[in-house]
Amino acid sequence: MTPLAELLPQAAPMILLSGYYPPDASSDTVEAWVAVSEESPFFEPESGGVPSCVAAEYMAQTMALYTGLYRARTGLPPKVGFLLGTRRLSLKLDRFAAGGRYRIRVQPLFSDEEFGSFACTIYDEATGREVASALMNAFQPEGTPTADSLEAYT
């Protein structure tokens, strides 16, 4: 499988996803996972985990993965996108606990060359319990830089 770093516009250490599942050719759904540890970005030792508000970024990066996989199939590099809004965000935990593994699923509701709307859900893999969900919208306008072209700014 293609490494995450080749599919996302983010660079380490801001790639928060740990990996992704092979896409199912019969479905538009994309799934990634996060394994939380003391080395995870945003880990808070005092709480023993990553704050639940980071769920929005886990979802956004999985949306970027959806686009990155599509672009990779057509020979294009990842492209920077902008999160326009989050609706119906539901967080059913205070933190993503160290030692936990969480599955992030994004299902496109609408997608074209510039705009996408996604139903996003995060599950605790140990229990199968839904721990977060949201409807999220993103925008990748024509002329938005690709991840490769951003290297000039770092």
How far is residue 97's CA from residue 18's CA, in Å, rounded to a whole number?
15
Residues in the chain: 154
Q: Give the residue ranges of the chain where pLDDT is below 50.
A: 152-154
The residue type at 75:
G
Phi, psi of 76 (to 5 degrees): -105, 150
How far is residue 24's CA from residue 78's CA, in Å, rounded to a whole number?
20
pLDDT at 74: 92
pLDDT at 149: 59
pLDDT at 119: 98
Name the nearest CA neighbour of 116 among 66, 43, 45. 66
Contact yes or no for 81/129 (Cβ under 8 A)? no
pLDDT at 112: 85
pLDDT at 151: 54
Q: Please state which CATH number belongs to domain 4-153.
A: 3.10.129.10
pLDDT at 147: 60
pLDDT at 148: 61
Contact yes or no for 43/29 (Cβ under 8 A)? no
Domain boundaries, the chain: 4-153
Q: Are strands 101-111 and 49-51 parallel, antiparallel or unpaired?
A: unpaired
